[in-house]
Amino acid sequence: MTNTEVFEQVKKMIVTQLDVDAAKITMTTNFADDLALDSLDVFEVIDKIEDEYDIEIETDDALATVGDLVNYVVAQVSTPEE
């Protein structure tokens, strides 16, 4: 799975879940600064992503931007389960 594929899916989830303008979402978009999302909003998106990709996202990790989240998901999906 590529970063572009995951980005498009994450972007769709953010737009659908939080009613954010899709034009505002890039890899460098900061959840708090650029989208004015609080931790609960981000948690809602993370919850959807976990369901979609069947992964566990550690919310302790620094996931400040859309790119951080996309890279995390790609790394998790690419790592074979033990």
- 10-residue mean pLDDT profile of the chain (82 residues): values are 94 94 96 93 93 89 91 87 54
Locate all alpha helices (DSSP H) within 1-82, ordered by sequence: 3-18, 39-53, 66-78
Reported pTM: 0.88
Name the CATH topology of 3-78.
Answer: 1.10.1200
Sign of CA dihedral 25, 63, 76, 15: negative
For residue 57, the one-letter residue type is I
Residues carrying an active site annotation = 38
pLDDT at 1: 83
Own/partner pairs for 76-81, CB < 8 Å, 24+ apart?
77/1, 77/6, 77/53, 78/1
Distances in Å between the Cα of 35 and the Cα atoms of 1, 25, 75 are 26, 8, 24
